[in-house]
Amino acid sequence: MSTPNGPDQKIVITAATGRLGRLVVAELLNQGLPAGNIAAAVRSPQTAASLAELGVEIRHADYTEPQTLGPAFAGADRLLLIPSAEYGQRFPQMKNAIDAAVKANVSQIAYTSFVNTPVSTLRLADEHKQAEAYVVRSGLPFTFLRNGGYTELYTGELGDIGPALDSGVMYGCAGEGRVSGATRADLAAAAARVLLGAVGSGQAHAAANNGRVYELGGTAFSLHEVAAEFSRQSGRPLRYQDLSVGEYAETLTTQGLPREFADLLADTSLAVSNGDWFTTSNDLEQLIERPAVPLADVIATQLRAF
């Protein structure tokens, strides 16, 4: 196996055409890793043309087709394993990927999950708990990158802030809970630093990172604060109204969301009130060596997109 910081280093990024994966690839390039040292493992190679143009190697990797995973992970010094968004299928898919990583003799896995995964009450965290346990049982050196909630999801990425500003009310069931939110770009920067060996190189990197868990959250905010900041920047009145989890799910369905998705979003909001999205860890800022992007900046970007 090649030296992790040597000229033949190969970092494989799964889901590399997704929102987070693309940002990780961009960060690796920005931080000086040659494009030829990056392999983008993607379900549909034809969607990765822009990465190929940069010189990134494109490999076919479909979590539901185990036979594609071994070749995709071959020669990987480090593998960033980003789960799909397919609720109910994540763990079977991750099991396929982890088994393939073992057979391919991958030097190290970095797996992305949620902050507070072991104790989270979040329904979406269940498969992360299973996947983390399976990674540990695999025997491969590993690092867990437990991502905080994407700040963008709380500032209208799902298209809900326009109607909220029109009505003057933003709904949820988060109570007074706080979210240690982080932008995808910050989380991608942290992942790139870990993959490149921000805490060591070669055997030192492997030793320092084997079993290492990073809880990656930014400065915490409540949904009341999200509404207040939107109101301040837009000049339009907006307040947060707390509902029961059932009422919030019903509200989401009246806005056109499928019931199953509405239930998951309501459960995610409820998890805020349980403290599942809050962390006091400063791992994120230590890795990226700067303050995390604040809520106000994300809201400013979102308002410019209207």
pLDDT bucket at 203, cuts 50 / 70 / 90: very low
Coil, strand or helix at 99: helix
- What share of the chain in percent tops pLDDT 90? 86
Its pTM stands at: 0.93
Predicted confidence at residue 275, as pLDDT, reads 96
Calculate the dihedral angle through the C-alpha atoms of 8, 143, 28, 3, rounding to the nearest 10 degrees.
Answer: -20
Asked which of 154-163, 224-233, 242-251 is least confident by mean pLDDT, the reply is 154-163
- Tell me the per-residue pLDDT of 24-50, one tens digit each, with 9 for 90 and over: 999 999 999 999 999 999 999 999 999
Contact 117, 134 (CB under 8 A): no
Q: Taking Cα atoms as reference points, which of 210, 214, 217 lies closest to residue 78?
A: 210
Q: Taking Cα atoms as reference points, which of 34, 84, 85, 40 lies closest to residue 63?
A: 84
Whether residue 4 has pLDDT greater than 60: no
Contact 183, 292 (CB under 8 A): yes
CA atoms within 13 A on the CB side of 281: 20
- What share of the chain in percent tops pLDDT 70? 93
Q: How far apart are CA 248 and CA 254, in angstroms?
A: 10
Predicted confidence at residue 159, as pLDDT, reads 76
pLDDT bucket at 2, cuts 50 / 70 / 90: very low
Whether residue 124 has pLDDT greater than 80: yes
Whether residue 209 has pLDDT greater than 90: no
Coil, strand or helix at 88: coil
Q: How far apart are CA 202 and CA 198, in angstroms?
A: 11
Predicted confidence at residue 3, as pLDDT, reads 35
**Mean pLDDT score of the chain, rounded to an integer?**
92
Coil, strand or helix at 258: coil
Token readout for 29 is 């390039």
Predicted confidence at residue 204, as pLDDT, reads 47
pLDDT bucket at 160, cuts 50 / 70 / 90: confident
CB count in 10 Å sphere of residue 31: 13
- Tell me the per-residue pLDDT of 13-22, one tens digit each, with 9 for 90 and over: 999 999 999 9
Q: How far apart are CA 206 and CA 3, in angstroms?
A: 11
Coil, strand or helix at 266: helix
Give the amino acid at 197.
G
- Tell me the per-residue pLDDT of 272-290, one tens digit each, with 9 for 90 and over: 999 999 999 999 999 999 9
- Tell me the per-residue pLDDT of 67-98, one tens digit each, with 9 for 90 and over: 999 999 999 999 999 999 888 899 999 999 99
Predicted confidence at residue 273, as pLDDT, reads 96
Q: Residue 199 CA to chain centroid, in angstroms? A: 21
Give the helix/strand (H/E) hosting 38: strand 38-42
Whether residue 145 has pLDDT greater than 50: yes
Token readout for 58 is 């494109």
Q: Residue 157 CA to chain centroid, in angstroms? A: 15
Predicted confidence at residue 148, as pLDDT, reads 97
Predicted confidence at residue 201, as pLDDT, reads 45
